[in-house]
Amino acid sequence: MTVDTDETSLLRETLTGIVRDTPADRLDAALADFGWPELLDDDPTVAVSLLFELQGRALATTSALDVVMARAVDEADVAILHPTPGSAVPSSIAIPTSSGLRIDVHGMVATRAQAPARVVVPALLDGKPVLVLSTWEDSWPSSGTGIDPTAGWAGLRTTLTTDRAAVAGDAASWRRLRAAGHRALAHELLGLGAVMLELAVAHVSSRTQFGRLLGSFQAVKHKLADVRLWQECAHLASEAAWEPSDEHEAATAAVVAKVTASRFTEVARQHCQQVLGGMGFTWEHDFHRYLKRALLLESLLGGTGPLHAELGAQLRTGALPRLAML
């Protein structure tokens, strides 16, 4: 089933209200009441694109990223042990032992009030990505750390022992899991970048220097025009990421969407900050909250450098599909 355009705008309106007005600790429950999990089954494109963009706009946090990624490998009610910031490949290492596997877990996780019962750990086993599905008996971070504690992310290092049968997915499963994350993050970054650009446009359209509106200076216009260009590219790439049915094409289109959305927020962080002048450097102005959230999400599941390198390596071996056909 897919949702038509009228329904989509109605959904957007309702979801906007929920994401904006619900306190952080009740947002997951409110989304469940609204029926977002069912929408995710019926029309993942609409469910993911609507929620994550709104999440970015409102700086909201939900457990939706783990839900969406787990669903891509037919799992539910699991937490994902994501790679460390910047890494596009698993940063946990699985080592075979006489009795099974020892996993040196190193990564980042979405915080939870209660520890999850089960986790999916992407890990490298003999240098190749695998997914390890394991029960979880350890403690779990309940509040965010680092540059943006409100984002609800924390680093995690521990050791896990499992039996061999815990290897529940191969490299293809990892690609599928990561692609689902890339698509969602692309939409969330679109929301973050849109607000940064709106804040900058509002500022330069109301402040004057030398007796003229800031936005009338060509140096200012040209910076914001570049941000607008990347916004459009990110928007088209994140939409196009839902087109391919072939798994390899879908994974590649998801990388392109994530890397292009990150490029948008990188350019927005740089240029919007500059034209906001001193105001954008204050705690009081909202800009820094978006900048910090963007820094975190740009790095999640691979920063632009590693993702570009992956695309470049595929180009070299002729494995890069053409994508976005007419």
Both structure tokens of 37: 């999990």
Give the footprint of other proteins on this chain (CB under 8 A): 197, 201, 204-205, 213, 215-216, 218, 220-222, 224-226, 228-229, 232-233, 236-237, 240, 256, 259-260, 263, 304-305, 307-313, 315-316, 318, 320, 322-326
User: How buried is residue 219: exposed, middle or buried, by Cβ count under 10 Å (0-12/13-18/19+)?
Assistant: exposed
The CB-of-181 to other proteins minimum distance in angstroms stands at 18
Angle, CA of 121, 79 and 58, to the nearest 5° = 125
Instruction: Give the shortest CB-318-to-other proteins separation in angstroms.
Output: 8
Is residue 53 within 8 Å of residue 82, measured between CB atoms?
no
CB nearer to other proteins: pick between 157 and 222: 222
In the complex, what is the shortest distance from the CB of residue 220 to other proteins, in angstroms, rounded to a whole number?
8
Let me know: does 249 contact 323? Beta carbons within 8 Å: yes
For the chain, the residue count is 326
Minimum CB distance to other proteins smaller for 192 or for 257: 257
Closer by beta carbon to other proteins, 239 or else 286: 239
| Nearer Cβ to other proteins (113/325) | 325
Shortest approach of other proteins to residue 238 CB, angstroms?
Answer: 10
CB of 298 to other proteins, least distance (A): 14
| Exposure b/e, 151-161, CB count within 10 A at least 16 = b | bbbbebeeebe
Rounded to a whole number of angstroms, the minimum distance from the CB of residue 269 to other proteins is 17
Residue of 71, 78, 101 lying closest to 165 (CA atoms): 101
Task: Give 307's contacts (C-beta < 8 A, 6+ positions apart).
Answer: 88, 255, 258, 259, 262
* Cβ pair 191, 56 in contact under 8 A: yes
Of 132 and 301, nearer to other proteins (C-beta) is 301
- In the bound state with other proteins, the residue whose beta carbon lies nearer, of 112 and 228, is 228
Least CB distance to other proteins at residue 148 (A): 26
Q: Which is nearer to other proteins, 32 or 225 (CB)?
A: 225
Residue 242, CA distances (Å) to 88, 147, 246, 250, 252 in order? 20, 31, 11, 7, 11
